[in-house]
Structure 1
């Protein structure tokens, strides 16, 4: 009777072990690095969304350029630093550089690493500094309002830009 019980436990354990699958797939909806989301509004009516005219964002010295989609702009932040500076250029997508208006926006933040899974590894969340989380040169941007300083959800608006 003892031998039957041993074989039953051994067989059950083996079946449970072989029926398990490794979770080695990182789903696309689980981003490993968050990005800051800016939304643009009219400075005369802060409740009215406004599309910036041919807005182009780039980092100095890098070959990264991102265009705004409608009144939103999604910008990645550097994981290996506590600050990222983006140049936001109105009329930046046209060939006439004489009408370009540039504004420099600097994000100051803390990086918080969060374990996702074996397949995905860690993801970086960002927390904007409470005193100087976002600064700008105010060339065409009138004001910046931090809506959500915790950059952990890519579907939220983090920064409200008035121009």
Structure 2
């Protein structure tokens, strides 16, 4: 019986010490604003007020072999910008298909490469959350690729990428 009490007291003390070792500032709260994603909206080129989702949009980082987004059919998306460089390049493929369908009424696998340029500002948040990056002076350049551009125009809505509340850039196709 004495052994049982000894073990119980030992476990209780060990638990108290374990939880006392974690301080409140060791955990980054979910409500803390960290590095924001770049928010993009897509619109119809002929009716620039009407949002239009691209068909089977595939987004892939140019310097990486992995696909970031596949078969996206939304008129608004958010993607990360690089935190270690002042440029991020993505391939945006319209109507992506693994194998092209010759009977498809819409051109398949039309890829534009978009380079996003910006300046980075590193901001210290706290010990638990570390740093976040704000981007300023956002600009873009579209390389239409071999099949010609499917993105025909763009407008920078906000040059500062500090939150994800509104679109930073609008694409028209």
Q: Residue 108 of structure 1 aligns to a residue in which SS?
A: strand
**Matched residue, 1:65:** 68
Q: CA deviation at 1:69?
A: 5.2
Large movers: runs of 4+ above 4 Å: none
Q: Residue 150 of structure 1 aligns to a residue in which SS?
A: coil
1:48-63 to 2 correspondences below 5 Å: 48-62=50-64, 63=66
**Matched residue, 1:117:** 126
Q: Distance in 1 between matches of 2:113 and 2:32?
A: 30
Alignment RMSD: 1.9
Q: Could you tell me which runs of 5 or more consecutive residues in structure 2 were left unpaired when the two chains were aligned.
A: 1-19, 102-107
Q: Could you tell me which runs of 5 or more consecutive residues in structure 1 were left unpaired when the two chains were aligned.
A: 1-17
Is the Cα contact below 8 Å between 2:63 and 2:89 reproduced in 1?
no
TM-score, normalised to structure 1, is 0.78
Q: Distance in 2 between matches of 1:97 and 1:119?
A: 48
Q: Distance in 1 between matches of 2:165 and 2:100?
A: 33
- Aligned residue pairs, count: 140
TM-score, normalised to structure 2, is 0.74
C-alpha distance 82-24 of structure 1, shift in aligned 2 (>3 A)? same
**Matched residue, 1:36:** 38
Q: CA deviation at 1:97?
A: 4.0
Is the Cα contact below 8 Å between 1:128 and 1:134 reproduced in 2?
no
